[in-house]
Amino acid sequence: MEVSQDFSLASKHSASGLRMTSTELTAYAVISFIVVLWCHYKWNRRHFEKLASKMTGPPAYPIIGAGLEFVGTPQQVMERIIKLYDIYGSEPFKVWMGTSLGVTISKPEDVQIVLNSSKALEKDQFYKFFKNTVGEGLFSAPVHKWRRHRRLITPVFNAKLLDQFFPVFNEKNRILTRNLRKELGKTQPFDLWDYIAPTTLNLICQNAMGYNLDSHSDIGSEFEKAMIKASELDSVRIYKPWLFPNIFFSLFLRLQGQSNVFKTLKKLPLKMINEKKEVFAQKKIIKETSVIYNTEEKKKNLKVFLDTLFELNEAGANFSDNDILDEVVTMMIGGSETSAITLCFSLLLLAIHPDIQSKVYDEIYDVFGDGDQTITTEDTTKLVYLEQVLKETLRLFPVLPVVFRELQDDIKIISGNHVLPKGTTCYIAPLFIHRDCDLYPNPLNFNPENFSQENISKRHKYSFIAFSGGPRGCIGSKYAMLSMKVMMSTFLRNYSVHTSCTFNDIKLKLDLLLRSANGYPVTIQTRDRRPSYKLN
């Protein structure tokens, strides 16, 4: 009997020992759930990690990835990006940005595959960080919106439209020439940006929006300053994963005292849109109530980009107010800022290389002589060497040094026979491609002969992608080249440009675009309008 009781007691104690408390059950359930989630996460990322294991790249850490590589000022970030290329070369290498795998593509053959693939038309998630600045215009729009807008807007950029820009080109460049006179005779250098940037902004506002900034310089200057600050703030998020969440970025803006910068950026675009909308409505009434529409009135009121957007809406394009605003801001930045940067770099490089400047001037003299006639479309086609100078500037200092594309399906590239899995971000770096010594001998030398027809024919088509490439290439590349040729030739017909800087003094910084960290310091002298030596 006692034995039986003892056995019963032992059994009870054993059972109670196996029994778990509710706290223990909850803990085991949570741990099991985390393990399952982790296994699911790792399984879904197995393709990325398999690819990453085959590539070199900067060290990555949990959550932030390689974010520590890009801590610092915009200038320091740019220096580190260049250093990565020095370390890892032109072969594809990995860069973990947060938990996203990026692969840097620098071989022209691989770049062609990616930029022309229908699987790589989507801009990467990082472009959402620039929505504060450019919204969802052609530059940053998701594919479904980009396809529709590009199809509607592309016909606008035709030869007839570009021809109508020349009176504005000539007028604004005469004003630029006049404004520069105040710098004559000074030994202290001035920053080219202070003159070039307002001119290119005025050009795009008048040519694309029908809005003359000459009498509204204050609001133009306000837009320019806000644009630089806004793009700098937005770009910080790309390489600082702790700013990815909007709530943290908003807090960052408050701490920086920049909460209103994006609102300030939109003031000028909204003003132009609202004024043009009123004019468009009045024209519509006149057309509807008048059988004969005055031909001279038509000539005075040439159709501009903003008119076309309103007309497309009338025809059923269904652009929302935000769509129009986004396209206008994109056009303003793409049509002014990129050209201003290239022009400033180009003039600075010519100041550093007076022999090349003399050669450019000789070509200009051959086309125009010592007269002051206005420039025509036909004239720009004769400025062949000047175009080589502009392209060489864009080779050394591409305004978009890195392009981000997110793959919507697997793509196989030639280098290493790597298969880049769906979801990979491709970092296509014009800055790296353009400085590849296998493509450009002595790549850090400023040599416009790199773009002679003979040398171009020796290189892969995608060895120069200053305007990107493929279906999402720059829609305004022809406008940019024409406007830059007119400004450069007008500037150099009137002034020679000089500097004490050397190429090595040029330090770069990165926000939305690539810029000189120390400005573009030069002096100018009145041009002696005689050729220095004749071109061969």
Q: Binding site: what residues are annotated?
A: 474
> Checking DSSP bridges between strand 411-412 and strand 495-498, what pairing results, if any?
unpaired
CB-based contact 408:349 (threshold 8 Å): no
Q: Encoding tokens for residue 352?
A: 């550093």
Determine the Cα–Cα distance for residues 48 and 57; give it in Å rounded to an integer. Answer: 14
Q: Kindly tell me the sign of the dihedral angle through the C-alpha atoms of 526, 531, 533, 536.
A: positive
Q: Binding site for heme: what residues are annotated?
A: 474
Q: Alpha helix locations (H) across 315-446?
A: 321-332, 338-352, 354-368, 377-382, 384-396, 430-433
* CB contact burial 112-135 (16+ within 10 A = b; e otherwise): bbbbebebbbbbbebbbbbebbbb
- DSSP per position, 114-162: HHT-GGG-SBPGGGGGGHHHHTTSTTT--HHHHHHHHHHHGGGS-HHHH
CB-based contact 75:517 (threshold 8 Å): yes
CB-CB neighbours of 16 under 10 Å: 8
Residue 94 DSSP SS3:
strand
**Residue by residue, what is the 3-state secondary structure of 149-178?**
HHHHHHHHCCHHHHHHCHHHHHHHHHHHHH
**Which H or E element spans position 426?**
strand 425-428
